[in-house]
Structure 1
Amino acid sequence: MFERDSAISTMSAQVARIIGTRIASGEFRPGDTLPIESELCQAYGVSRSTIREAVKNLAAKRLVEVSPKVGTRVLPFADWNLLDQDVLSWRLNAQFDERIVEDLYEMRQCFEPRACFLAARDGSAEDLDRIRRRYADLVAMLNQPALAAGAETEFHLAIIAATHNGLFVTIGGAVKTALRVSFSLTQRSAKTTDLAPYEAVLSAILERRGEAAAEAMRRLLDLSRQRVLEALARGPVAERG
């Protein structure tokens, strides 16, 4: 029986998280068949309906495939829904290493600078005011690490929302997960957050200088990536959100 996590709403979601993390960590590898239903019930101390709902959840995320003849089989990595917030979170918590950091920042470099360009070009006055307020929150909470992490996340998400591009907003969910887990690693750093790169992004967007905003975000992401890699080199994450 596992210890129930009050932050997760249902038992089936908790079981899905445990099995999903075991898949993401490589304990269950692509092509492997999961233990049969009765064994999972016994292992986690839950009912068959809970296991079935958990497996259904994992199948929807393309981590597993259920076949009457074969059982529940782990799918190849290429089939996984990697932008699903749960899948990304499980991967980050299971194997937060240099490779996944590089993958994340390559993804962010592909669309966040463009998001800045679009926010500067197309963002409404209300959008720009929201970005300004999220930056003010970051400044105000700088000495409160847990709150600063949320404020930094919301600053990035406000920029993405200002694009009015539905696909960008969807990817923003993955950014939110990545930022939360990344911060759990970097919050141990003694370095004070340098606000200048954020100010450069903010100023360029407010002045509607799209190209300058994109370039400022590229520089901000480069600095952020370096910070995460340096923190990673100091040792594993002690506790992740």
Structure 2
Amino acid sequence: MAAGKRAQPAHISLARQIGVAIVTGTHAPGSVLPGEIELADRLGVSRSVIRESLRMLAAKGLVESKPKAGTRVRERADWNLLDPELLGWMLEGAPPVPFVRSLFQLRMIVEPAAAELAALGRTARQLARLGHALQEMETHGLGTDAGRAADRTFHAVILEATGNELLVSLSASIAAAVHWTTFFKYRSARPPRDPIPQHQALFEAIAQGDPAAARLATAELVEQARIDTEASIEEGQLALAPPGRANGAARE
């Protein structure tokens, strides 16, 4: 474990392990998970840890437990897909392109409009926080934890600057989407295009109080992120495909 990082509590680590297995299809909707005693023996943890993990997963809509029936994986339509942790689990591996497109459609609906409002209503303190986040992104780069943390802050402050409490309530979900799609892009062998210029243009539009320019800069930023993320997913799929299939896909 890296110095300075604390190990997660056992129930959180286990919830993540089971949650990833569910969202990646290892435990399909409708299937019944092993019982508490079997899970505790298999994983070497106490039953109380198992119960707490399952409670976390139930709160995210992934499972439901009933007496004598056990714990069943719920249908995908019941999952809380905007839960920040669940978004992270969905994007940890090789997320399906349709899900990623849906995520970017949500961002395209929400963020350009939020940037317009932010350009009209941001405070001096919010602008200073945006400027600091942008500086941190430029200093560290988005391929680092520090750079991605600054990126999350940048987008969260824009939603905060709208003054709309419903939009602000989406900030954790939007920040998670920004973080995990950026992490995924920079994990690929081919680095994505540098998005800092689009962030700079967005900051300048908000600083100048120009809502139309803020909307346009945000739309361009989100669209570039979508294209680069989908390219990274396709690259990963080709890398995992058998040689003959990968060559055939390349010729299509």
TM-score, normalization by structure 2: 0.84
CA distance in 2, matches of 1:224, 1:191: 9
Post-superposition Cα deviations, 1:177-196, rounded to whole Å, max 9, x if no partner, equal: 22222223322434551533
**Partner residue, 1:202:** 203
- Is contact 1:120-1:204 (8 Å) kept? yes
**Partner residue, 2:43:** 44
**Partner residue, 1:221:** 222
CA distance in 2, matches of 1:19, 1:191: 31
- Is contact 1:113-1:217 (8 Å) kept? yes
1:62 is paired with a residue of what secondary structure? coil
Q: Please tell me the residue identity of whatever aligns with 1:92.
A: L
**Partner residue, 1:82:** 81
The answer to whether structure 1 residue 10 and structure 2 residue 9 are counterparts is yes
- Is contact 1:141-1:151 (8 Å) kept? no
Cα deviation for residue 207 of structure 1 reads 1.1
Moved more, 8-17 or 220-229: 8-17
Compared CA separation, residues 109 and 192, structure 1 to 2 (3 A): closer
Q: Please tell me the residue identity of whatever aligns with 1:165.
A: N
Q: Please tell me the residue identity of whatever aligns with 2:210.
A: R
Question: How many residues align structurally?
Answer: 232
Once superposed, what is the RMSD of the aligned Cα atoms?
A: 2.2
**Partner residue, 1:3:** none
Compared CA separation, residues 205 and 74, structure 1 to 2 (3 A): same
Alignment of 1:52-91 (within 5 A): 52-91=51-90
Q: Please tell me the residue identity of whatever aligns with 1:172.
A: S
Compared CA separation, residues 16 and 146, structure 1 to 2 (3 A): closer
> Which segments of 5 or more consecutive residues in structure 1 lack a partner in the other structure?
1-5
1:157 is paired with a residue of what secondary structure? helix
- Is contact 1:204-1:210 (8 Å) kept? yes
1:235 is paired with a residue of what secondary structure? helix
Cα deviation for residue 174 of structure 1 reads 1.9
1:66 is paired with a residue of what secondary structure? strand
Compared CA separation, residues 166 and 21, structure 1 to 2 (3 A): same
**Partner residue, 2:155:** 156
Moved more, 14-23 or 177-186: 177-186
Q: Please tell me the residue identity of whatever aligns with 1:125.
A: A
Cα deviation for residue 136 of structure 1 reads 2.1
Q: Please tell me the residue identity of whatever aligns with 1:183.
A: T
**Partner residue, 1:120:** 119
Compared CA separation, residues 93 and 54, structure 1 to 2 (3 A): same
CA distance in 1, matches of 2:142, 2:176: 22
Compared CA separation, residues 191 and 25, structure 1 to 2 (3 A): closer
Cα deviation for residue 134 of structure 1 reads 1.6
**Partner residue, 2:235:** 234
**Partner residue, 2:164:** 165
TM-score, normalization by structure 1: 0.87
CA distance in 2, matches of 1:143, 1:164: 27
Compared CA separation, residues 65 and 142, structure 1 to 2 (3 A): closer
Q: Please tell me the residue identity of whatever aligns with 1:211.
A: A
% identical aligned pairs? 33
**Partner residue, 1:211:** 212
Q: Please tell me the residue identity of whatever aligns with 1:127.
A: Q
- Is contact 2:152-2:176 (8 Å) kept? no
Cα deviation for residue 143 of structure 1 reads 8.5
CA distance in 1, matches of 2:23, 2:203: 36
Cα deviation for residue 38 of structure 1 reads 1.1
Q: Please tell me the residue identity of whatever aligns with 2:72.
A: R
Moved more, 131-140 or 70-79: 131-140
**Partner residue, 1:137:** 136
- Is contact 2:62-2:74 (8 Å) kept? yes
Moved more, 192-201 or 39-48: 192-201
